[in-house]
Structure 1
């Protein structure tokens, strides 16, 4: 089995870290986008739906047929 040179080992480690950082950046970017979506859009919509149900809830239960 042939041994690799020290320079090749160093370059392989640098390349591994470079590729790993690109992949990690993509994954964290996607997670950040989903978090932004949840905070900016879904939470206010959920609060609005909850308020509408809270305001209109008791009036619906008092109806007599």
Structure 2
């Protein structure tokens, strides 16, 4: 009676292509999120100055 012949997974080291793919993917996602954050700030600034130019808001405190 022989025991079961089970093959164990052996570690072959890092896969260079997989590492490059993951690195590029993560950097593109992080860059997109950072750019989206800046677009949001830019949109708020344009909206603020648009309202200021139309006279709908003011930055001067009114005295009572």
TM-score, L = length of structure 1: 0.57
What is the RMSD computed on CA atoms of the aligned residues? 2.8
> Where does structure 1 differ by over 6 angstroms across 4 or more consecutive aligned residues?
none
More helix by share: 1
Aligned to 2:58: 46
The question of 1:4 aligning with 2:49 is answered no
Gaps of 5+ in 2: 1-10
Q: Using CA pairs below 8 Å that are at least 6 residues apart, which structure has the higher relative contact order?
A: 2
For this pair of structures, how many residues does the alignment match? Answer: 51
The question of 1:21 aligning with 2:27 is answered no
TM-score, L = length of structure 2: 0.57
Gaps of 5+ in 1: 58-65
